Every structure is written in structure tokens, then in C-alpha cells.
Amino acid sequence: MKAFPYEAALGKKFGASVFACHIIKPPALIAAAPRLRLIYMKWSGMPRKKSLDKIVQSPLLEGIKRKSIAP
């Protein structure tokens, strides 16, 4: 979030798109039970998606193409 104002300024200056995403490292349990991966990703991604959508709607990004990406 510290870099967010700079990202917005660069996006405006160069006409770039901004993509907001969360990078998560799944727990070791997923390696042991791969079938749980989709369930875990859906369950853990819900709150992240809402927070990303909120960030993408920031007034700092007004006039910039933007999209949130959540697992």
C-alpha cells in the first residue's frame, strides 16, 4: 500500500492499466491433499476479493483502467 500512490501516478502518466492482486502461499496441507486446493482458494479468496475491489475503486485511480484479480 505504500507504493500505491506511485503506482497511480505512473498509471496516469503512461496511460497504463493497473491490476490489483493478492499473492498467497497455500499451506502445506494443500500439497498433501491437492483436491482441497480449489476449496481453499475459493474460501480464502472471498475476503481478499472484497478488499481488492475496494482498493481498485480508490479516487487515486480515477481515469485509469483497473481490475482486481483474486484467486
The residues spanned by each domain of the chain are 4-69
Q: Percent of the chain at pLDDT above 90?
A: 6
Q: What is the pLDDT of residue 4?
A: 84
**Coil, strand or helix at 21:** strand
- Average pLDDT across the chain, whole number: 79
Work out the burial of residue 18: count CB atoms within 10 Å of its CB; fewer than 13 is exposed, 13-18 middle, 19 or more buried.
buried
Residue that wins the pLDDT comparison between 36 and 70: 36
pLDDT of residue 38: 72
Query: How does pLDDT run across 38-65, given as a tens digit for each residue?
Result: 777 676 666 677 778 888 888 888 888 8
More confident residue, 19 or 25: 19
